[in-house]
Amino acid sequence: MTVETDAQGHKGVTLLTINRPQALNALNSKVLEELIHAFAAYQADGSQLCAVLTGSGDKAFAAGADIKEMSDKAAADFFLDDFFSPWTAEIVKKTRKPWIAAVNGFALGGGCELAMMADFIIASDKAKFGQPEIKLGVAPGMGGSQRLTRAIGKSKSMEMCLTGRMMAAEEAERSNLIARVVPHEDLIAETLKT
The residues assigned a catalytic role are 65, 110, 113, 133
Dihedral sign computed on CA atoms, order 138, 82, 149, 184: negative
Rounded to whole angstroms, the Cα distance separating 13 from 45 reads 11
Rounded to whole angstroms, the Cα distance separating 18 from 6 reads 12
* Amino acid, single-letter form, for residue 74: A
Rounded to whole angstroms, the Cα distance separating 175 from 42 reads 30
Count CB atoms within 10 A of the CB of residue 57.
17
Q: Report strand pairing: 128-130 vs 167-168.
A: antiparallel
As beta bridge partners, residue 53 has: 16, 101
As beta bridge partners, residue 107 has: 62, 129
